[in-house]
Chain A
């Protein structure tokens, strides 16, 4: 009986060792490789006791969350602490001087069937008022946002 117990113990130990066989350094390398494969740049991984900590600065929140998903998928990583930050954004400048932007938007709105909407542009920010049929409402908003404006004050109403 005794040798059998020992065998079971050794087997159990072997399985246990295998499960946590990867060292933190191995895991960090695997995670870094995975980030490279997923084309995530600017993120550094440190692993401590199977817990990965991500640091660095990336372009936006989508990249930040991609990095987390990538590292989570690495076998052996227990959890991920995501300390990645996003770069501060540059300030948008309106595409055209106000009177020109007003003219362009008014014209584009007419083409989109939104002639009952009216716009005024101050400091590159577009205020839209009036009422348009609900069927074209989304299209009217889309037209305004695609004009190159840097801000919108949407007071447009949905009519029938």
Chain B
């Protein structure tokens, strides 16, 4: 059982201030979703994961640890590349161009004019 296998990882999370929830993933693996207090704490968990399951080949654990507000996080964003347009970017995310346009009205004036290097919010 994955939980027993990754016990030391969960114990480490308890010690270093990472909060988490467990669930069962596709294929019966263990999914750990949580928040670490710092990048160091998160890295420590990944090091432990790599020690238990070298190169993460077993596919029996998903370690989805974000960073707390204090440590900084960030939503989804996309950096425009040359040749992009809104419908092309939308396709990458399975979105209509208009929903990206709506989410970025504050930085865009014209849906046909986007520039390489612009950071777009992905709703």
Contact = CB atoms under 8 A, between A and B. Distances in A.
Nearest to B26: A151
Contact of A153 (B10, B23, B59, B76): B59
A151 B27 contact: yes
A65 B11 contact: yes
Nearest to B4: A61
Interface residues of B, number: 37
A9 B46 CA distance: 60
A145 B62 contact: yes
A140 B88 CA distance: 24
A142 interface: yes
A124 B26 CA distance: 8
Contacts of A90: 23-24
Nearest to B12: A62
Interface in A108-160: 111, 123-125, 137-138, 141-142, 145-154, 158
Given A86-B3, A146-B65, A154 B26 contact: no
- Majority-rule SS of B interface residues: mixed
B66 A146 contact: yes
Contacts of B93: 99-100, 103-104, 107
Interface in A85-111: 86, 89-92, 94, 97-100, 102-104, 106-107, 111
Interface in B23-76: 23-27, 29-31, 33, 46, 50, 55-57, 59, 62-66, 76
A91 B24 contact: yes
A151 B92 contact: no
B122 interface: yes
9 contacts: A61-B10, A92-B26, A98-B94, A103-B92, A107-B93, A141-B56, A149-B62, A151-B29, A154-B56
Given A94-B26, A145-B64, 15 more contacts: A61-B10, A62-B14, A86-B3, A92-B23, A99-B93, A103-B93, A106-B92, A107-B93, A111-B79, A125-B27, A141-B56, A142-B63, A146-B65, A151-B29, A152-B29
Interface of B: 3-4, 7, 10-11, 13-14, 22-27, 29-31, 33, 46, 50, 55-57, 59, 62-66, 76, 78-79, 91-95, 122
Closest 7 CB pairs of A and B: A151-B26, A99-B94, A62-B10, A103-B93, A103-B92, A92-B23, A100-B94
